[in-house]
Chain A
C-alpha cells in the first residue's frame, strides 16, 4: 500500500470519480462524482453542501470505504483504500470510520447498548470491554439511563444520539455524518450537533453533509460546496471569518 507523507492530512481524495452505468447495456452514464480532489486535515470539522443528487452521499460512502471509486485514489490516514478487497474495506471502516446516517439506522431488535456494542463485536473486542465501553459512550451522549431500551422506545433525537455513540465505538479517526439532523426538528438537531461539536473539540475529525447553510456555518470549520459531482467552492473559518478558497 502506498504511503503518503502528509502528516496532517487524514483524508485525501485525488481526482476521484464514481460513475454509474445505467440501462440495458450501460449506455447511460450517471457521473455521481466527476473527478474531485480534497484534503481533510486531522481534527477538522468539514461540512459538505450541495443540491440533492450532487454526489454528497456518494463521496461520503467512498471516504467511508463502503464503496470503491471508478477512478482516482483515496487515502485514509495515509493508506490507499481505493483498491482494497471487500474484507479489507470492512476492516478499515470497522476500525477507522464511524458512520452517522440521516435515518439513524439502528438495528431494531437490539437495545441501545447492544447497538453500540455491535461495531466492537466485529473487531473481536472481549464482551466485558464492549459492555463497559458502550455504557461509557452512552453516558457521553446522556443516554445511560436508556441503554436497555429498543430503538422504537426512543425518540428520534435519542436514536441519533445512540447512533453517535455507536459511531464512536471503535475510537475512529473520522466520523462521517450524512445529514445527521435531516430527520430531526431544529432544537433536537441542535442537541445532536452539540455532541458532534464536543467530539470535534476532543480532536475527532468530522465530515458532515448538510443542506442547511446555518448549520454548516455555525458548527463546521471548512465548507465544501459540490454540484453535479464537482467541487464548486471551499470556504474556511479563520478566526471566526469565512474565507473563500480557490478550487484547484
Chain B
C-alpha cells in the first residue's frame, strides 16, 4: 500500500517538474550550507589546533603587535630588539630566551624565482635545542643546522617541489643573490609554516637582509610551566614600563599557547554559531517553501482529491499521499543538499590547500552529520506538509468534485 502511495506521490512530483525542483532548491541550499560549513569547520578546527599543538606548553612568545600569525616585521611599530630580549630574559620565572627572525626572501633555483619565508637558527646550542624541540623539527634527508654552520640552509618539505626541478640535499640555491647549500630537508610537520620555511644561521640571515638590531619573535621558556600566565603578565608589565605605555596601548603582544588556542577556539565557535544560525534560517525558509508548494498543490488538485475520494479514498489515504509528497521533497532536498554541501567543502579545501600548498584544510566527512542533515530535511518536509495534507484530507468530496 505505502509503496503504491509512494509511486503516486513520485508521479505527482514529477508531474509538477520544475516547481518541485524549485521547492527542493529552497531546502537544499540550507542543507548544503550546513553540511559544507560544518564539514569544513571541523577541518578548520583540526587545522588550526594542529598549528598550535606544535607550540609547547612551557614557552611563550613575544612579538610585535598587529602581526598576528603572518610573517612578523611587516608593520611599523617599535620593533623588538636586543634590549627587549635582555629585559625579557631578566623577568622572574624566565629560563631561556630565544630571539627569532622570520622574513620573506627571494629564492632562486634552476633559473626560477620564488618568494619564501626564511627563519633563522641561532648560533647557540641551547637556543637551537629549544627551537628544534619546541617545533619538533626533524629531517627527512640530510641533517639539521648546527651552531657552526655557515652558508648552509635546511628547507621545508613543500619547498622541495616548489620549483619545476626538485631540490635535493647537496644542491645550491640562491637566496637574495647569495649561494646557499641545502644540507637537509625537513620532515613534513603538522604546521604549514614548518613545511614552507627555509632555515639558515642567524648571522647569514642578518647579513643577507641587512638586519641590525631587530627581533621578530622572542620565545621565552619558563622555569615552571604552571606559572606561565603569571610570567606572561610580568613580561607585559616590564615591556610596558620600559616603553612608557599605558595598559591597552601595547605595540607588542605576549601570548601563551593556551591563550592562543583559546582565542582561536572562541573564534571558531562563533563562526560555527553564525553558520548554524544562517542554516537554520535558510531551512526555515525552505520549510515555508515546501508548505507553500503543498498548499498550492492542494488548491490545484482539489478536483483530483475529490475524484480520489469518489473512487473510495479515505481521509487517511489522502493525508498519507500528501505527507509522502512533502516528505519526499524534504528528503530529496536533504540528499542533494548533503551531496552539494560535501562537494562545496571538498572544493573549498582543494582550493585552500592548493593555494597554501599543504593539506591544511581537510574535509572531515561525518556520517552522523550527513544522516542527521538528511533526516532533518525529511522532518522539515513532513512538518511543512502536515497542515496542507490535513486540509487536503478534510476536503468534502462533493465540494472538491464541484470545484
Q: Is the CB of B397 within 8 A of A67?
A: yes
Q: Does B22 contact A (CB under 8 A)?
A: no
Residues of B within 8 A of A101 (CB): 401
Q: Does B309 contact A (CB under 8 A)?
A: yes
Return 12 A-B CB contacts under 8 Å, by A number: A64-B310, A66-B310, A66-B398, A87-B315, A90-B315, A91-B312, A95-B312, A99-B311, A101-B401, A107-B304, A109-B11, A119-B312
Residues of A within 8 A of B14 (CB): 109
Q: Does A170 contact B (CB under 8 A)?
A: yes
Apart from A64-B310, A90-B313: 13 A-B pairs, beta carbons within 8 A: A66-B309, A86-B315, A91-B312, A93-B312, A99-B310, A101-B401, A105-B307, A106-B307, A109-B12, A118-B308, A122-B314, A123-B312, A170-B312
Q: Is the CB of A105 within 8 A of B312?
A: no
Q: Does B303 contact A (CB under 8 A)?
A: yes
- Among residues of B, the one whose C-beta sits closest to the C-beta of A106 is B307
Distance of B304 from chain A, by nearest CB (Å): 5
Q: Is the CB of B314 within 8 A of A90?
A: yes
A107 CA to B396 CA in the complex, in Å?
A: 18
- Point out residues on A near B: beta carbons under 8 Å: 61, 64, 66-67, 86-87, 90-91, 93-95, 99, 101, 105-110, 118-119, 121-124, 127, 166, 169-170
Residues of B within 8 A of A107 (CB): 304, 307-308
Q: Which of B12, B311, B398 contacts A119 (CB 8 A)?
A: B311
- Point out residues on B near A: beta carbons under 8 Å: 1, 4, 11-12, 14-15, 303-304, 306-317, 396-398, 401
- Among residues of A, the one whose C-beta sits closest to the C-beta of B1 is A124
Q: Is the CB of A87 within 8 A of B401?
A: no
- Among residues of B, the one whose C-beta sits closest to the C-beta of A114 is B11
Residues of A within 8 A of B303 (CB): 105
- Among the interface residues A64, A105, A107, A169, which one has the most CB atoms of the partner chain B within 10 A? A107
Q: Which of A86, A109, A118 contacts B314 (CB 8 A)?
A: A86
- Among the interface residues B4, B307, B315, which one has the most CB atoms of the partner chain A within 10 A? B307
Distance of A21 from chain B, by nearest CB (Å): 15
Given the known inter-chain contacts A87-B316, A109-B11, A109-B15, please indicate yes or no for A122 contacting B401, CB distance below 8 A: no
Residues of B within 8 A of A110 (CB): 11
Pick the 10 closest A-B CB pairs, nearest first: A94-B312, A109-B15, A119-B311, A122-B312, A90-B314, A87-B314, A66-B397, A67-B398, A105-B307, A122-B313
A122 CA to B309 CA in the complex, in Å?
A: 9
Residues of A within 8 A of B4 (CB): 121, 127
Residues of B within 8 A of A123 (CB): 312
A127 CA to B310 CA in the complex, in Å?
A: 20
- Among residues of A, the one whose C-beta sits closest to the C-beta of B310 is A99
